[in-house]
Amino acid sequence: MNTFSSSPFGPLLTAMVTPFRSDGAVDYGRAEELTARLIKDGSTGIVVSGTTGESPTLTPEEKLELFRCVKRAAGSTPVIANTGDNETAFSIEFSRQAEAIGLDGLLLVVPYYNRPNQEGLYQHFKMIAEAVKLPCVLYNVPGRTARNMEAKTVARLAEIPNIIAVKEAGGDMAQVSYIRALTNDDFAIYSGNDGDTLPMLALGGCGIISVISHIAGQPMRQMMDAFWNGDLSTALKQHLRLLPVCDALFPPTAPNPVAVKAALQLQGFDCGGLRLPLVEVTETERENLRRAMQDADLL
């Protein structure tokens, strides 16, 4: 059963990399070109300045300009801005600024480093959502934030009218199941890990906020469409075909988005380097990535 209609953003959102010029400045022109490429390859929405977009190294001014240029390039395709931070007051103000630009939604990450408890998480997200009118997507990624947002907290927040979805990147299928059990059918659950997409569809997920879609947007759409059309054999084959690429994009020694920028280079679409403290992939990592992409017919 196709469930992505419960989300206004569609089933395949790309967490877009931020292109940089050789001097380290944001390449806004390349960002517009990348936006058009992603939409052409099947993305139904674009997430700007998330983890994959190297948001910790971008200034607020750079982020706002990115929001503007990506929205301009995306046309009618939804653009979702990552405006969450580990300070509630700043998150509220920045979310209001993003809303004023005319974006379509907000991505709000669990506060990192200060590790609030579940009540603190609830109050943080409630205050941000109530300060704007835009649809809000919660983002749970305990591997980066050192705090898991529990299913019961997500369910409480889902009662707030403009909190419409969660990006769940904890890798815990039991937690995904509880989120689905505790929320209404129209609350959207997005996978936050490419390799978890197919299992999460079976648990009532609506799609993926993806990294691999930079280089494999159409295969990801085909996998999801096959699942929703009841062709589980084809969906599984596509999942297994892409799984080694998912692994190669997230090697233990190269944090996202190091490898996906290398993958774009391998496909001939260079988005520039990285901002420190991130550094380029090693030759071994690049070769592993090249081999996985070749085996999946992505080169």
Q: Residue 81 in contact with residue 67, Cβ under 8 Å?
A: yes
* Dihedral sign computed on CA atoms, order 151, 155, 156, 157: positive
63 carries an active-site annotation: no
Retrieve residue 227's tokens: 């699942």
Q: Residue 126 in contact with residue 157, Cβ under 8 Å?
A: yes
139 carries an active-site annotation: yes
**Which position among 122, 139, 190, 261 bears the catalytic label?**
139
Measured distance CA(8)–CA(289) in Å, rounded: 33
Q: Which residues of 204-230 are buried (b: 16+ CB within 10 A; e: fewer)?
A: bbbbbbbbbbbbbbebbbbbbbbbeee
**Which position among 28, 71, 122, 167 bears the catalytic label?**
167
Measured distance CA(69)–CA(239) in Å, rounded: 33
Considering only CA atoms, which of 257, 234, 246, 151 is closest in space to residue 194?
246
Q: Residue 271 in contact with residue 277, Cβ under 8 Å?
A: no
Measured distance CA(48)–CA(269) in Å, rounded: 18
Q: Which residues are catalytic?
A: 139, 167
